[in-house]
Amino acid sequence: MVDFVGARAVAYLATTIDVEVGTSARLEFSTTDALAIWINGRFRGYGDTDPYAWYDFGMNPDHPPGDAVALELGRNEVLVRVRDGVYSSAGFFARVATVSPSG
């Protein structure tokens, strides 16, 4: 997707995430790349980088999420800027973690 050096070191990725009434959700990351995150047009911060990016983060107790951003009820327009900066890195992984009132 992005290169370590050269003109292709930055990518912008966009998606829509719907959060249903009665639940709460957050967007979690495991990343070796520098991330900047916008939700619904508002800048929400930078993702913290980790030494390794784990595809099974949040499911494997040995690989907890590195950073998370709360999502709002309803439709969330998400924009993530990815800046590569680690040679031969694993990049980043993201997942939506939801919690229902019943647990």
Average pLDDT per run of 10 along the chain, which is 103 residues long? 68 94 92 91 88 86 88 96 70 86 61
pTM confidence score: 0.81
Rounded distance, CA 6 to CA 3, Å?
7
Rounded distance, CA 95 to CA 16, Å?
13
> Angle CA(64)–CA(26)–CA(62) in degrees, nearest 5?
10
Give the model's pLDDT for residue 72: 94
Give the model's pLDDT for residue 99: 79
If one counts every other C-beta atom within 10 angstroms of the C-beta of residue 10, the result is 14
18: β partners = 75
If one counts every other C-beta atom within 10 angstroms of the C-beta of residue 69, the result is 19
